[in-house]
Every structure is written in structure tokens, then in C-alpha cells.
Amino acid sequence: MTSSYRINYQLRAHKRDPLIEFIKGLLLTPFVLHAKPRKPVLNAPATPAGGHLPGTTSGLVGPIQGDDDKNDYQEEEKPMVDANLQRYLEIMKSVEGMIEEHRRKALKGVPEHSRLHRIVPSVASFFTPLPLEAAFLVANAKHSIAARRFVPPSFNDIRRILNTAQVMAIAPTLNLITFDGDMTLYDDGTSFTKSSPLIPLLITLMRAGLHVAIVTAAGYPGDAGKYEERLSGLLQCFNEQKLSEKLLEHFYVLGGECNYLFRCGWKKAETTGESVVGLTYIHPEEYQPNDMLDWKNEEIQELLDVAEENLRRSVSAMNLKATVLRKMRAVGIVPTDGVKIAREQLDECVLSTQQRLLEYQQFSGPSKVAIPFCVFNGGNDVFVDIGNKLIGVQVLQKYLGAAPDATVHVGDQFLSTGNDFATRSSCCTLWIISPEETEGVLNELTPLLTFPADSE
Ligand SMILES: [Mg+2]
């Protein structure tokens, strides 16, 4: 018999990250058992030892502890914090060990034999070790995790600890860093502005010899101008700082998940003819693998027709104030101006369309190549794109010669209904939730990088 717990768990699975939930559960035990709230210490006039203030009987007013029940901040707070910290560190060290064992088993081709896999069956690959103990100390210094008595280590604490550990581990070998666009580099649907604090950090990454790429869902087929518009602030800064062609060659934009690649460099402005920093379209034959070049347009359109039909049905069934937008390699629903669609409704569109397309491909028979697609909740819209960011990252890795342990993808959509999720199978990842957090991880990363001797 299916228990209600199981139904509940399955229905919520798309909102949870199993590894983070697992670590959170482990840290919750010492929090519940040991991080107890402090007994009250009230500043009141001295009374006879062990006595109450005149006129009180309950002891709720005035000093309540006797000589044998001292709870002085200096005497008790620090040992409690230290003991909490030790317990948390011990847990992080153990998880670190489990990840190492999982990596060893994966190298032998049997990741499913690891202890971590048995406990968290959906756990992804780890391309580097993760120094979780050291990362916990960094997080604790910022967010006082061990000193907290009322708020246990949270999902966000653990997400940030995993980010810090990943940054520490990958810094020495990093070659390619890819960024999602919306909510990672700039707010949803907006453009990269000149004042963004991320710009100097991106330039620092390029100066350290890294390849930097924006891998975004935004799809404007072959249209460099549209991407130049979205990234205008960034390109203007490159322009003003007169970055060399050699340095600019480290910057790429891959749009439509994996479909349209552009290289950055100096070019003649169409209107004035003067030299400006811009983007140049790279033809698919130059970088796309054969199986991608084999995707037939009629099959793509057939898949998008099925997706569109399901999206239209969702819009009408839930009475959403949204329009359906069809592009060459994508179809989506976009809210009408000023409308905010609830996350639950967006997730409903994603999950039902995912299901519909998988069924469609399953029943299409073996004669057709199953074209990869991704359906995702973009925060305030839902899109079905042909291809996905996993292919996007793999294409860049091959084109630029970067291995999975030398690649990191930074994004905000790492739940299973998000489009950054797929990259996990091919590179390391940093899960941020805002451009401010991207700034935070880059501020942790850049001091750890080494710069080539001829760096500009
Ligand atoms: Mg995003």
C-alpha cells in the first residue's frame, strides 16, 4: 500500500535537493539535542542567595538561579558554541569522507555501490573532492551557525557551504566558468548594466586565463545584436577598458541553452564604422557535434507542436493570464504585463509538459532520434527549449578543451524543474539565488586563482 508519506514525498520531490536535505537532517540532530535555548538571566537588584524578590513567588522576575545553577554568558556560552561547532564539523568531515568514497567507486565504474548512493540514490557525480569541514568554518564565521540556538542549519546555509567547498576545490584547476543569465548575472528579464559589481570580477576571471561563458536560455537565432543589447553594460566596460583581442577571446555567449554560440571581440560598428567590442556568431558546423547537427527541423517543430498544445491546455485549464510564445527552437508561456504567476502554477505547466513530451517520444518509435529538450520554470515564465544546458556545457568543454573537473557552472535553477539542473552531469556547479550571491562566490574564488605572468 502506498503511504501518504510516500505520495507526499513524491509530489514534493521537484522542490527538494536530496543531498542538501540529507546533510540538513544530519546537522539537525546535534542542534535538537545540544543547542538548547539559554536560561534567562535578568539584570535585577541582588537578593539573598537563592531567594526571590519580595512579593514574588514564581521566580519569573529577578535572578532565578542559585549558586548551583549558574548560567552566566561567559561561563556557558563559549563552551556550548565550541562543542556545537565540533559536532557540526565532525558531521561535515564524515560527509566529506562519504563523497570521497562515492568518487572512488565512480572511478571504478560502480558509483551505485557507494554508501552515499545507498542513502541518497539520486546523488549526482562529484568531479572534485569537497572540503566541507573547511567550508563550514567559513560559513560559520559569516552566519554564526554554531552559536544559533533557535535557528538550525538551514537549506541555504548548506547550499552556501557546498558552494564554498566547490570554490576551494576547483580554484587550482579551473579553466572554464559558465554563468546562467537571468537571476545569476542580472535580475529576471533585465540587462547587464554598466554599474554591475560583477563586471570587474568577470574581467578578473578572464585575466586569470579562464574561459568565461554565459549559457542562457534566451534564444535569438544568430542575432548578435539582441545579445549585445542584453549585455550592453558589460560590453561597454570591455570597450572603455580597451581590453585586448586576446583577452576578449576568453569570453563567449551560448544562447538558447546550446543552440547559438557567439565569441567576443573587437568589430566595426555597423552604423558608425568605428571599432567597438561586440559579439560574432560562430556557425554550428564549427563547434556542434554531429549528433546535434543531425537534428531535423521538421522533428524539432513536431516536438514543439506537442509542447505548445500542452502549454495552451495548461494556460486555459488554470486560467492563466499568459500568452504562448513560439520561437524557432523554443516555445513558452509568458505572463501578460505586470502579472505574476504562482510558482505552483508554473511547476504544474513544467511537470505536465515534461510528462507529455516524454510520452510523445516514447511512443514515437525507434525510427526517430529522440531530440533532447528541456522544460523549465524560469521564475515567472515556462519554456520548452530544444537542447539543454548539459549539451551547452559539453559543447563548450569540447570547443575550449576543458575537462569536467576544470569546469564550473553558476546558476539559480538547480531544482529538477530548473534548466541549470542538467549541467550537474558534466561539470561542477555553484547554486546561487541572486546576482548578489554570484558576487559573493566570485569574491571567494578570485583570490584563489593564479594569474599568468603575461596577464594584462
Ligand atoms: Mg536563471
The pLDDT of residue 419: 87
All cell numbers assigned to 42: 535578568
Q: Do 373 and 253 sit in the same domain of this protein? A: no
- Specify if 5 maps to a domain: no
Distance in angstroms (rounded) separating the CA atoms of residues 108 and 119: 19
Instruction: State the distance from the centre of ligand 1 to the C-alpha of 187, rounded, in angstroms.
Output: 9
| pLDDT number for residue 59 | 42
Report the distance separating Cα 456 and Cα 452, nearest Å: 9
Cα of 414 from ligand 1 centre, angstroms: 9
- Judgement on whether residues 217 and 360 belong to the same structural domain of the protein: no
In a domain, 183, yes or no: yes
Same domain, 34 and 149: yes
Query: What's the CATH code of the domain at 332?
Result: 3.30.70
Catalytic status, residue 180: yes
What is the model's pLDDT at position 43?
A: 61
Average confidence (pLDDT) over 161-175 = 97
Cα 87 to ligand 1 centre (Å): 35
Across all residues in the chain, what is the average pLDDT?
Answer: 88
Phi and psi, residue 333, nearest 5°: -115, 135
Same structural domain for residues 117 and 208? no
383-440 pLDDT, tens digit each: 999 999 999 999 999 999 999 999 999 999 888 778 899 999 999 999 999 999 999 9
Q: What is the pLDDT of residues 40-96, one digit of tens each?
A: 666 655 555 444 444 444 444 444 444 455 555 555 677 777 888 999 999 999 999
Which entry of 17, 157, 182, 385 is annotated as an active-site residue? 182
Residue 363 has pLDDT above 90, yes or no: no
Do 264 and 399 lie in one domain? The reply is: yes
Whether 158 and 28 map to the same domain: the answer is yes
The answer to whether residue 443 is domain-embedded is yes
DSSP state of 147: T
Quote the pLDDT of residue 34: 84
Tens-digit pLDDT profile for residues 137-157: 999 999 999 999 899 999 999
What Å distances lie between residue 203 and 180, 264, 346, CA to CA? 17, 13, 36
* Per-residue confidence band for 452, with pLDDT thresholds at 50, 70 and 90: confident
**Residue 353: which region, alpha, beta or left (left: phi > 0; alpha: psi -120 to 50)?**
alpha
Which residues are paired to 211 by β-bridges? 176
Whether 305 is covered by a domain: the verdict is yes
Catalytic residue among 17, 69, 72, 180: 180
Residues 19 and 141 in one domain: yes
Residue 3 maps to a domain: no
**Is there a single domain that holds both residue 88 and residue 185?**
no
Q: How far is the CA of 93 from the centre of ligand 1 (A)?
A: 32
Instruction: Please tell me the distance between residue 240's alpha carbon and the centre of ligand 1 in angstroms.
Output: 28
Question: Are 157 and 192 found together in one domain?
Answer: no
pTM for this structure? 0.86
The answer to whether residue 2 sits within a structural domain is no
Q: Considering its fold, how many domains does the chain have in total? A: 3
Same domain, 304 and 276: no
Whole-Å CA distances, 166 to 212, 429, 444:
17, 8, 11
User: What distance in angstroms lies between residue 355's CA and the mean position of ligand 1's atoms?
Assistant: 22
Distance 297 CA to ligand 1 centre (A): 27
Q: Out of 370, 386, 402, pick the residue that ends a domain.
A: 386
72 in active site: no
Q: Which residues face 382 on adjacent strands?
A: 333, 377
In this structure, the answer to whether residues 32 and 128 fall within a common structural domain is: yes
| Whether the predicted pLDDT of 321 surpasses 60 | yes
43 found inside a domain:
no
Angle, alpha carbons 228-378-347 (nearest 5°):
165
Beta-bridge mates of residue 178: 213, 409
Q: Which of 121, 140, 170 is the last residue of a domain?
A: 170
Q: Which of 150, 170, 190 is the last residue of a domain?
A: 170
Range of the domain at 364: 293-386
What cell does 369 get? 532520434
Same domain, 166 and 201: no
Residue 3 has pLDDT above 70, yes or no: no
Assign residue 275 the CATH number of its domain: 3.40.50.1000
Are 168 and 131 a contacting pair, CB within 8 Å?
A: yes
